[in-house]
Amino acid sequence: MLTIEDADIIQGLRRGDESVFVSLFDGYQNSLLRLALMYATDQRLAEEIVQETWLAVLKGIHRFEGRSALKTWIYSILINRAKTVAQREGRYNNLTLSLDEQTESNEPSVPVDRFHPDDDHPYPHHWLNGPSDWGELPEEKLLSDETQKVILAAIDGLSPNQREIITLRDIEMLSSEEACNILGISESNQRVLLHRARAKVRQALEEYLER
């Protein structure tokens, strides 16, 4: 659904108002490049994907019917183009992703070796060691550049569909509805993918912070 701000931007783009485009470009360029890098083999290719996305936005703005938010439409264009490029480069395969989605529904959110086994009485399936409480850790460590690198590396190590959803939800701060519309997945699938992605990132962060 369009906001008043979106409607104003669309009208400005349709009029060919350069200042409106510059403002939109400045607001989205870094996010689009970050998304493109999930699929591209290098920075140059990612920049080409983003450039093609902007050209598609300008060419398609007169046909945009406003059935989704402007951001959702722009991100959808980028991801579709990025996937096409990634398929061409051999980095993305629809069949593989489809199989991933089937197996991920049975994948444990937390490694099973963090729980007592079935025959470990009197506490089978209870935590061996519960999740870490980070409340007592120094704020500087939680916010350090190295910590951010650990998080980004953990995200980069996720399966493609987990990486997509956690990037859209937790980095780009899109709603679940927006993310589902962009990726063409169901709400239940989105929820499972996001839960598993967050669990893996948290595990990587725990291992780093507990050193």
Rounded distance between C-alpha atoms, residue 141 and residue 3, angstroms = 39
164: how many CB neighbours lie within 10 A of its CB?
24
Give the integer Cα–Cα distance in Å for 24 and 66: 16
Give pLDDT, residue 48: 95
pLDDT of residue 100: 47
30 by Cβ neighbours in 10 Å (0-12 / 13-18 / 19+) ranks as exposed
Residues 93-119: pLDDT tens digits? 443 444 344 445 555 555 545 444 656
pLDDT band (50, 70, 90) for residue 8: very high
83 and 107: one domain? no
Tokens of 199: 């669990």
Same domain, 107 and 9: no
Of the residues 88, 110, 145, the one at which a domain ends: 88
β partners of residue 181: none
| Shared-domain flag, residues 84 and 123 | no
The CA distances from residue 149 to 38, 144, 156, in Å, are 15, 9, 10
pLDDT at 2: 82
Same domain, 120 and 194: yes
pLDDT digits (tens, 9 = 90+) for 36-93: 998 888 899 999 999 999 999 999 999 999 989 999 999 999 999 999 988 887 765 4
Whether residue 200 sits in one domain with residue 100? yes
CA distance 88 to 57: 22
3-state secondary structure of 104: helix
Segment 110-154, tens digit of pLDDT:
554 544 465 655 555 444 454 555 455 555 555 567 888 888 899
Between 135 and 9, the more confident residue is 9
Q: Which of 72, 88, 104 is the C-terminal boundary of a domain?
A: 88
Residue 122, CA distances (Å) to 83, 118, 129, 187 in order: 50, 10, 16, 38
Q: Which structural domain, as residue segments, surrounds residue 178?
A: 94-209
Q: Is 115 helix (H, G, I), strand (E, B) or coil?
A: strand
Q: What is the CATH number of the domain that holds 66?
A: 1.10.1740.10
Residues 70 and 158 in one domain: no
- Of 88, 103, 126, the position where a domain reaches its end is 88
Q: Are residues 48 and 105 in the same domain?
A: no
pLDDT, tens digit, 9 for 90 and up, residues 141-199: 555 678 888 888 999 999 989 999 999 999 999 999 999 999 999 999 999 999 999 99
Residues 123 and 197 occupy one common structural domain: yes
Helix (H, G, I), strand (E, B), or coil: what is residue 196? helix
Q: Give the separation between CA 101 and CA 189, rounded to whole angstroms.
A: 8
69 phi and psi angles, rounded to 5 deg: -65, 155
Question: The tokens of 151 are what?
Answer: 């998080």
172 and 191 both lie in a single domain: yes
Does one domain contain both 39 and 104?
no
Alpha-carbon distance of 67 to 156, in angstroms, equals 32
Number of domains in the chain: 2
92: its two tokens: 């993305």
What does the pLDDT look like over 18-30, one tens digit per residue?
999 999 999 999 9
Q: Does residue 181 sit in the same domain as residue 103?
A: yes
Same domain, 73 and 10: yes
Helices (H) and strands (E) in the chain, counts: 10, 0
Query: Residue 168: which CATH number?
Result: 1.10.10.10
